[in-house]
Chain A
Amino acid sequence: MRKFLPISVSFVFGVLMFALWFEDSESRSMLHFTLIDYWQIIFAFGLLVGVVSFISVASRKISRGEEPFYNGVLIFGALLMPTLAMIDGLQPNSYFQWMFENVQAPMQSSVFALLAFFVASAAFRGFRARNAQSIILLLVALIVIIGRAPMGEFVWGGFDELIQWIRDFPSTSAKRAVLIGIGLGSVTTSLRVIFGVERTYLGER
């Protein structure tokens, strides 16, 4: 029963959602949109599971003496924001918005900005002229880096066209090939899940 029930549910809803993709009639639309409503509700409850797990894991780590300061900050932050929202609401001048705009957003932007540094260090290590292929890779990288900067137009007027050609042909065709492979993999994996052959998510192999 422990396996039968989830597999049956997967089959019924998998087939149903696939079939409903093609429908247009009003009566079946109601079923479609009711399912979509439930999808959103399940997703929202999933987040609740995450928050409970997040706080309980951090609390257990503190009680075991594992990185107490770090885990303490995690719990404090996780509780502070909803508390502020409950006390003062979410309106533009609330404490919550203030914290969001002045603490959370800059911290997240800083992590995003790290990409610029990591791109540079990865490029330094990765773009080495080791063989013919890596020389081609290096040259294309140089063309795109120079051409995509505004200075590129002063160096050579043809950069834009050349970069567009690289994007439209070699790059896009390679991406399409990978995408087709991924698409085929997705179709067969989905079929396996719908027909109950794929059971890894139940812990089986």
Chain B
Amino acid sequence: MSDTQTRRAQKTRRLIFSGVFLSITIGLLLPFQPEVTPSVGTKSMFSFIENIKPGSTILISFDHESASFPEMKPLAIAVVSHLLKRDVKIIAISLFPEGAGLGASLLRRLGEENKKTYGTDFVFLGFKPEPRATILGMGKSFSFVFPFDFYGTKTSDLPIMSADRYSDVVGVITIADGSYPSHWIEYGAAKYELIVLSALAASMVTSYDPYVTSGQLHSILGGLRGAAEYESLLNVDGGGSRAMLAQTAAHIFIVLILIVGNISYLRSRKKKV
């Protein structure tokens, strides 16, 4: 690449970056929320939770880091709130050290908001290293891998821990930004016939489509759009819905640069001919 070409490329890159920044900022500042229609995956996740018998227990795994928290938070809030409203008991863990702190405070806050009792209606067991070993170890019993909860209480003293095996829970929801749902599918579902559902970062959604069509993954709730769709089903206003205008603006900007890029490419090709 010649110096002139490099300079031109750098200039174009700066323009594109500025455009993305402006479109997202304007989208976030404007007080308007576009409506969204729930997709198949969102409806499937929603109806799964709607059909859980009140009083049953579910496992939630916060398999994400702090980096993706702005995207994962609306997803986690939508799903956990729905479960608590349906009186489903929650046993939560994290396969990431960072997910533990974030998951613990989010669960505690939502538990208090929904007037649930820690240890009876929900519990946070914390983080254990090596995801595959943790998932396989929990196959023996949850208290085998987590003898103490996140706050140091003996798990066997907590009433909610009467559900101590995979067969005692209705399934697992992995709130993930990376490849950890595949561990739940490969080890939890394959060996212990655990039903796996996932709330995923948008960038990972299509990776898991083959598992949904094969039935190994029950359903996917994907990205901020997924959160917005879920919020619309719950009829609440949340972080997902508030981000929809910014996402729309960014999508429009990318469509525009694709058009501009192709026009300039075709022009330069004509010139060469």
A-side residues, CB < 8 A to B, are 21, 29, 32-33, 36-37, 39-40, 43-44, 47, 90, 92, 97, 100, 104-105, 108-109, 111-113, 115-117, 119-121, 123-125, 127-130, 138, 141-142, 145-146, 148-151, 153, 160, 164, 167-168, 171-172, 175-176, 179
Per a CB cutoff under 8 Å, which of B140, B210, B253, B257 touches A176?
B210
- Judging by beta carbons under 8 Å apart, are A105 and B255 in contact? no
- Judging by beta carbons under 8 Å apart, are A39 and B130 in contact? yes
State whether A117 and B244 are in contact (beta carbons under 8 Å apart), knowing that A150-B36, A167-B209 are contacts in the complex: no
Binding site secondary structure of chain B: helix
Inter-chain contact count A-B, CB under 8 Å?
Answer: 139
Q: Indicate if B179 sits at the interface (CB-CB under 8 A).
A: no
Query: For chain B residues 204-236, which have a beta carbon within 8 Å of chain A?
Result: 206-207, 209-210, 213, 225, 228
Q: Within the complex, what minimum Cβ distance (angstroms) separates B235 from chain A? A: 17
Interface stretch, picked from B76-84, B154-162, B260-268, is B260-268
State whether A164 and B39 are in contact (beta carbons under 8 Å apart), knowing that A117-B20, A124-B16 are contacts in the complex: yes
Q: Using Cβ atoms and an 8 Å threshold, which residues of chain A touch B70? A: 109, 113
Q: Using Cβ atoms and an 8 Å threshold, which residues of chain B touch A160? A: 37, 39
Digitize B94-130: 1 where CB-to-A-CB distance is under 8 Å, 0 elsewhere. 0000100100010000000000000000000000111
State whether A116 and B105 are in contact (beta carbons under 8 Å apart), knowing that A145-B255, A160-B39 are contacts in the complex: no
For the complex, give the distance between the alpha carbons of A102 and B245 in Å. Answer: 26
Chain B interface residue count: which class?
35 or more
Interface stretch, picked from B45-53, B131-139, B165-173, is B131-139
Across the interface, name the chain B residue whose C-beta is closest to A100. Answer: B101
Q: Using Cβ atoms and an 8 Å threshold, which residues of chain B touch A150? A: 34-36, 225, 228, 244, 247-248
Q: Indicate if B153 sits at the interface (CB-CB under 8 A).
A: no
Q: Using Cβ atoms and an 8 Å threshold, which residues of chain A touch B34? A: 150-151
- Judging by beta carbons under 8 Å apart, are A146 and B251 in contact? yes
- Judging by beta carbons under 8 Å apart, are B129 and A44 in contact? yes
Per a CB cutoff under 8 Å, which of A33, A47, A172 touches B144?
A33
For the complex, give the distance between the alpha carbons of A36 and B131 in Å. Answer: 11
Q: Within the complex, what minimum Cβ distance (angstroms) separates B138 from chain A? A: 10
Per a CB cutoff under 8 Å, which of A117, A127, A153 touches B16?
A117
State whether A33 and B17 are in contact (beta carbons under 8 Å apart), knowing that A40-B129, A44-B129, A167-B206 are contacts in the complex: no
